[in-house]
Copies of this chain bind each other. A is one copy, B any other.
Amino acid sequence: MAESDTIDSKPLAKVLNEHGVRPTSQRETVYESLLQKRDHPTADEVFARVREKAPTISLATVYNCLDVLVQNKLVRAVNFERAPTQYCANLAPHAHFHDEAGRTLDIEMPTGVIDQLRDLLPSDFDVKHIEVNFHGRAPHND
C-alpha cells in the first residue's frame, strides 16, 4: 500500500510536469500504458494498446511521446541486437534478460555490481550510462 502511493497513484499529469514534460492526453495515455503492463513493448505494441483508449492516436505520435518520455528519463529504451526498440518504465537500475522465446525480463542490479563495472574503465573515462543484457533461456512460469 505504501508502495502504490508513489508514482502510480499520483495524477499522471503531475508526474509528467515534474519531469518537464507537458502533459498532453497522448503522452499521458502512452505513459500510463507503460506503467500498467510492465512487459517491454515495442512502439507498435504500445500503439496497439493505446489505440483502445485513444483511437485516433497516430503511430508517429506514439514514437514522439516515447521519445519525449525517454529523453526526460521517465522511460528507458531497450535495444537488443537489431530487434525493434522496447520500452521500460522501471526506473530502478537494472539489467535485461532476453529470453529465446522473446520475453524481456528485468534483472535487479545492486549498486555494488554497477560500481564493479564502472571500475573496469580508466579513471579518465566519463561514463554516462551502463547497459547489461543477458541472453538465454528463462524458465516458463505460467
Contacts and interface: CB of A to CB of B under 8 A. Distances in A.
Interface of A: 77, 79-82, 85, 95, 97, 100, 107-109, 113, 116-117, 120-122, 124-139
Given A97-B121, A113-B116, 11 more contacts: A79-B79, A79-B82, A113-B120, A116-B116, A117-B132, A122-B139, A125-B136, A128-B137, A130-B132, A131-B131, A131-B135
A134 B124 contact: no
Nearest to A127: B136
Given A79-B82, A82-B79, A113-B116, A137 B130 contact: no
Tell me the number of copies of this protein. Answer: 2
Nearest to A120: B107
Contact of A133 (B108, B122, B130, B137): B130
Nearest to A112: B116
Contacts of A138: 125-126
A131 B81 CA distance: 10
Nearest to A137: B126
